[in-house]
């Protein structure tokens, strides 16, 4: 590939719909597959390279992962004022992963670089969040907060994860944002990230029922008719530890990469050794 690619256009088409077309929370994820070939641009100073172009604004955040199993890559970020940020592989010689907060509005270039003999396919995973999407306003109501989390679900919550310590690989992250009313929240599963908020943990069945029904009513109002709802009555979780579970699941309709919001309630009264609480309610944001 030896022509510039305006990545913001691709990001637009990859982004699932938000709750509202007027949503201030713009977050996207695109996977770009390409190949470095002998027909690509070559410079004696830097090597053979492909160029991708981003239209970005001050305060935006990007998270880029380059996977190139056929050559050892270098990834260069070039600002509109020609500042150069070079990223080299760490650990795996064929993978580069970096995050960056944009400091200058304009056209940014990303260069995928190999040496003069480099060729082969590579994968560029690009996540982007606008400056306005990094945190909801202090006045955000429940629907706004749901919209915020759904937007970040588009990019696997990459911009809501507390960064790991150097050399640390995590499978459970503490999010930088906790949904109002939640006792705690985590982001789990590094291959298909989910945001799990614990909305109740206690021993009062009436309180648990009230919170479950309140969440159900709020989500029906926020999501509207474009989301399908299905409910499961109380069932035994599994044969070994027969706690009970029920859920209501909202699924985004008419989307190839549907997102889900699930209310799950766990009843541990018959298995007291599993949890110190008889009832736990979780609100889970997930996608296919």
pLDDT digits (tens, 9 = 90+) for 130-176: 999 999 988 999 999 999 999 999 999 999 998 766 666 678 898 99
Contact 83, 108 (CB under 8 A): no
Alpha carbon 81 to its chain centroid, in Å, reads: 30
What's the rounded Cα separation, in Å, for the pair 199 and 215? 9
Contact 59, 101 (CB under 8 A): yes
pLDDT digits (tens, 9 = 90+) for 188-205: 977 779 999 999 999 999
Angle between helix 205-223 and 142-153 (nearest 10) = 70
Indicate the fold that domain 7-133 takes in CATH.
Answer: Jelly Rolls (2.60.120)
pLDDT digits (tens, 9 = 90+) for 195-246: 999 999 999 999 999 999 999 999 999 999 889 999 999 999 887 888 999 9
Q: What residues form DSSP beta bridges with 55?
A: 107
CA distances from 78 to 73, 202, 267, 284 (A): 16, 53, 54, 38
For the chain, give every domain's residue range. Answer: 7-133, 142-287
pTM of the model: 0.86
Closest CA to 122 of 133, 131, 114, 130: 114
């Amino acid at each position: 590939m030896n022509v510039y690619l305006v990545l913001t256009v691709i990001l637009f088409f990859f982004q699932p719909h938000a709750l509202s077309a007027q949503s201030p929370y713009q977050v996207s994820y695109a996977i770009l597959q390409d190949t470095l070939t002998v027909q690509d641009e070559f410079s004696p100073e830097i090597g053979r390279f492909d160029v991708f172009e981003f239209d970005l604004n001050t305060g935006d955040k990007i998270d880029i992962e380059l996977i190139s199993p056929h050559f050892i890559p270098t990834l260069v970020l070039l600002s509109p004022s020609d500042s150069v940020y070079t990223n080299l592989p760490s650990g795996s010689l064929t993978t580069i992963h970096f995050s960056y907060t944009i400091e200058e509005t304009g056209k940014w270039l990303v260069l995928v670089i190999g040496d003069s003999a480099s060729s082969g396919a590579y994968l560029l995973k690009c996540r982007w969040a606008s400056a306005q999407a990094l945190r909801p306003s202090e006045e955000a109501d429940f629907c706004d907060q749901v919209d915020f989390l759904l937007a970040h679900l588009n990019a696997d919550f990459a911009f809501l994860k507390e960064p790991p310590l150097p050399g640390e690989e995590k499978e459970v992250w503490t999010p930088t944002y906790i949904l109002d009313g939640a006792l705690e929240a985590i982001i789990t599963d590094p291959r298909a990230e989910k945001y799990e908020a614990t909305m109740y943990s206690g021993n009062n069945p009436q309180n648990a029922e009230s919170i479950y029904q309140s969440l159900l009513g709020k989500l029906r109002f926020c999501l509207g008719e474009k989301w399908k709802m299905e409910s499961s009555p109380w069932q035994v979780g599994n044969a070994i530890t027969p706690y009970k579970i029920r859920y209501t699941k909202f699924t985004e309709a008419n989307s190839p990469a549907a997102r889900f919001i699930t209310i799950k309630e766990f009843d541990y009264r018959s298995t007291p050794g599993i949890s110190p609480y008889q009832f736990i309610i979780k609100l889970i944001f997930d996608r296919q």
